[in-house]
Amino acid sequence: MRLLQSWQLRRDTDVVHVAVRQQRLITALAVNGPRPRSYLVGLLWPDTPEPNGLESLRVAVHLISRQIPGLLINSGTMLSLSEIVDVDLHRLRAQIQELGRAGLNGNVSTCLQQLRDSDLLPGWYDDWVLFEQSRLQQDRLHAYHIIARESLARGDCESALEAAEAALDLEPLFESAVGLLIQAERRRGNNALALRAFGRYASRLKEDMGLVPSEGIRRLISDIS
C-alpha cells in the first residue's frame, strides 16, 4: 500500500481501484492501526451525527470487504487491516528510527532520495491527515539532520550540503541545518556561499519572527572578512 507521493493499493502486481470513501477508511487504519468503530466515525465523519456516521462506516466496510476480501479484519467493535498489508509509510518510519539508533549505514544518496520522495498524501486536507503530514515532516527533518551531521563528521561535505539543503526546503528556519550548511560550505572553501546562506537565514528570521541569529550561528561566520 502506498501513501507517499500518491495513494495506491496493489494486490500482487495489480492496482486496485477504490472509491474515495473506502480509501479514507483504509488509510485511517493503515496510519493508526486497529481502532474502535466509534473512533473511526469521529475521525472520518466528525460533523455527522453518530448514527449516520456508523451507517456510513458500515457501508464502507461492506464495500471494502466485498471488493477486497481479507483486507479488513472485523473484530466486533474493532477494525483493522490484515497483517499482510505492507504500508510504505511504516517502512519509511522504520528506516528513520534505525537511522536514529545506528546512524548512517548504506547508500546516503539513496536514503536522501527516499526521504525527498516521501510527501504523505499530497492533496488530502482532512484534519487528521494534516496532523500526520506535519508529524512525518518532523521525522524527515530529524533524519536530514542526522545525515548532514554524520556526513560532515566523515568529511563528506557534498552529502552534508544535500541533506542540510533538503531540511531547509522543509523548514527554512531550522537553525541546526543552517549551521551544518555553513560548516559544509566552509570546509569546501566556499566562504562566499557560507555568508550567503547565513544572510538568507538572517533575513528570513528577521522577516518572519523579528529575531536575529543566535550567537552560535554568528560565530560560524565571524572570522570571514
What CATH number corresponds to the domain at position 172?
Answer: 1.25.40.10
Mean pLDDT of 157-167: 96
Name the domain boundary from 64, 81, 98: 81
Considering the domain architecture, whether residues 129 and 204 belong to the same structural domain is answered as: yes
With a cut of 80, say whether residue 103 has pLDDT above it: no
pTM over 0.85: yes
The grid coordinates of residue 219 equal 560565530
Considering the domain architecture, whether residues 106 and 208 belong to the same structural domain is answered as: yes
Considering the domain architecture, whether residues 126 and 71 belong to the same structural domain is answered as: no
Predicted confidence at residue 9, as pLDDT, reads 97
Which one-letter amino acid corresponds to residue 199? G
Name the domain boundary from 56, 81, 106: 81
With a cut of 70, say whether residue 181 has pLDDT above it: yes
Looking up cell 483493522 gives: 80
| Count of the separate structural domains present in the chain | 2
- Residue 20: pLDDT band by 50, 70, 90 thresholds? very high
Looking up cell 467493535 gives: 77
Residue 201's SS3 state is helix
What CATH number is associated with residue 49?
A: 1.10.10
Per the domain annotation, does 3 fall within a domain?
Answer: no
Name the domain boundary from 33, 66, 81: 81
Predicted confidence at residue 41, as pLDDT, reads 97
With a cut of 80, say whether residue 105 has pLDDT above it: no
Per the domain annotation, does 2 fall within a domain?
Answer: no
Can you give 71-138 as a three-state secondary structure string?
CEEEECCEEEECCCCCCHHHHHHHHHHHHHHHCCCCCHHHHHHHHHCCCECCCCCCHHHHHHHHHHHH
Per the domain annotation, does 163 fall within a domain?
Answer: yes
CA distance 170 to 32: 24
Predicted confidence at residue 225, as pLDDT, reads 62
Considering the domain architecture, whether residues 108 and 168 belong to the same structural domain is answered as: yes
Considering the domain architecture, whether residues 99 and 208 belong to the same structural domain is answered as: yes
Considering the domain architecture, whether residues 129 and 188 belong to the same structural domain is answered as: yes
Bridge partners (DSSP) listed for residue 120:
4
Full domain range(s) for residue 35 = 9-81
**Contact indicator for 171, 139 with CB cutoff of 8 Å:** no
Looking up cell 510504505 gives: 88
Bridge partners (DSSP) listed for residue 10:
15
CA distance 93 to 22: 24
**Average pLDDT taken over every residue of the chain:** 94
Considering the domain architecture, whether residues 208 and 126 belong to the same structural domain is answered as: yes
Per the domain annotation, does 1 fall within a domain?
Answer: no
pLDDT digits 0-9 by tens, 90-102: 999 999 999 888 7
Predicted confidence at residue 157, as pLDDT, reads 96
DSSP assigned state of 17: P
Residue 35's SS3 state is strand
For 187, the enclosing helix (H) or strand (E) is helix 175-187
With a cut of 90, say whether residue 87 has pLDDT above it: yes
Looking up cell 527516499 gives: 114
Considering the domain architecture, whether residues 161 and 143 belong to the same structural domain is answered as: yes
**Contact indicator for 18, 67 with CB cutoff of 8 Å:** yes
pLDDT digits 0-9 by tens, 35-81: 999 999 999 999 999 999 999 999 999 999 999 999 999 988 899 99
